[in-house]
Each structure stands twice: as C-alpha cells, then as structure tokens.
Structure 1
C-alpha cells in the first residue's frame, strides 16, 4: 500500500518531469523518457471528450500521443497552486492552470481536479475533471 508521502513524491516528480518535457519543446524536441518512469506501462488517461485532446489514452504510446495533442493545442501550459490529497493508492490533485492557446493566442486560467490511482510506485490511472470545458474550447478556437 502506498503512503501519502509515497504518492505525493511520485506525483511531484511527475509534474516536475512534465514541466521539463514541455519546456524542452514537448513531443517535437522533448524525450518522453523523462516522463515514462512515472507511468505504468498500461496507464489509462481519461480526458473530457469535449476537448481536442479528449478521449481515452492507453499505455506509454497513448501518453506520447496525448502529450503531442496537448502541445498542438497549447503553446504554454502551467500548473499552479497545486494541492495534494492522497490515501492509499488514490490521490487527488487540485490545480489552477494558466495556459495559452496555440491557434488563438488567448490566455485562459481554469481549475482542474485530477483523481489518480498509483500502483507499484507508478501512475496507473488519471481522471482529470474540468470546471468549464466550454470556456476552454472557446479560448482554444482560432480567432477569425
């Protein structure tokens, strides 16, 4: 059984690796190997279907594709003010996101709540919940 310290250590490490990955250019220039150790090989990520990167992403190949879709959508994506709550194998992370859409160049700020399952020291499942997907989709839409 994972402890609170173990889960938050894993999650803080993954978020730091994600920042490094995105700062290096993401899938265009970054190496997914910096993120791979934090995710189970059969990880499942379930994103809101209303988003351009929505749907179910499976395994490391799915995570690579997901990060490519995120990079195509956002030119900047910062996770701020993170709060962690973990019990056993379940963790919840509350985050304020500040992002800039690649197509519209609009900046948007929104809360996100992620539930994660940790198994054998790796992230096995991720379910992000967005407060207002319509506002995010509107910010992403190219300007006319």
Structure 2
C-alpha cells in the first residue's frame, strides 16, 4: 500500500471508532484529528444541509455534527481506491439512513482526497445525485 492510502485507512479507522463511541458531543474527536492536517479542508456541495467549506479540526468536528444531524447511519457496501502520489480517489457505494425522515438512500460518492506528510489535508466529495440526497432528507 502507499503512504497516502495507509494514512487514509488510518483516518477511516479513527472515524469509525469516533462514530461507534457516540460521535459528536459524546466521543473524543482527538483520535480523528490526529489523522488530519491542522489546516484540513472539507468541501461539500452547497445545496446539502451540511454543505459548504469546513476548515481545520474545529470545522471538521462541526461537519461531523452536521452530518450526524442529517444521517442516523451510513454503511459502506463497496469502496475502491486509486492512488497517485499524495492523491487518493475513492469510489464509495453506500447506504444512508435519514435522521429527519427515516428514509434510506443507496447511492455512490466519489471523493478526491489529498494526503501530505501522513495527514489528510483535503476532501472533495462528488455525489452521484444530490437531488436524491435532498429528497431522502426532506420531510
């Protein structure tokens, strides 16, 4: 495996541990933060309830809280990775369950992730269908 992919897998493991411990407001974000650069940036589609640009560890912790407000669960059905130096492209087929409506959504998300010096510096997710995401979340 490459260094970037190893770093990303470390982040995913810390994220899973954070969420299984209760997530925002209940678990310590420090384990996740240890895998993120201090100036990490998460870009989300503006139309989503958790859309916008989230910066730094504080921004990522607030992003996780916003995602938790929107989704009660997320299960990965399939993940694929392509690595080019410090960049990892991921294909994620997943099932979300909407917290506001209880509806489930099976969809795909591509992500462009940058890793530098063993830390994730940037996430750029691209949803297959943001309209379907909004429909699942809207009562």
Match of 1:39?
36
Q: Give the corresponding residue for 2:15.
A: 18
Q: CA deviation at 1:20?
A: 1.5
Gaps of 5+ in 2: none
For residues 21 and 123 of structure 2, the distance between their equivalents in structure 1, rounded to whole angstroms, comes to 23
1:92 aligns with 2:89: yes
Q: Find out whether 1:134 has 2:131 as its counterpart.
A: yes
> Unaligned 5+ residue runs, structure 1?
none
- TM-score when scaled to structure 1? 0.92
**What residue number does 1:125 align with?**
122
CA RMSD of superposed structures (Å): 1.0
Deviation at 1:89, TM superposition (A): 0.9
Deviations 1:77-115 (A, max 9, x none): 123311111111111011111110001001111100000
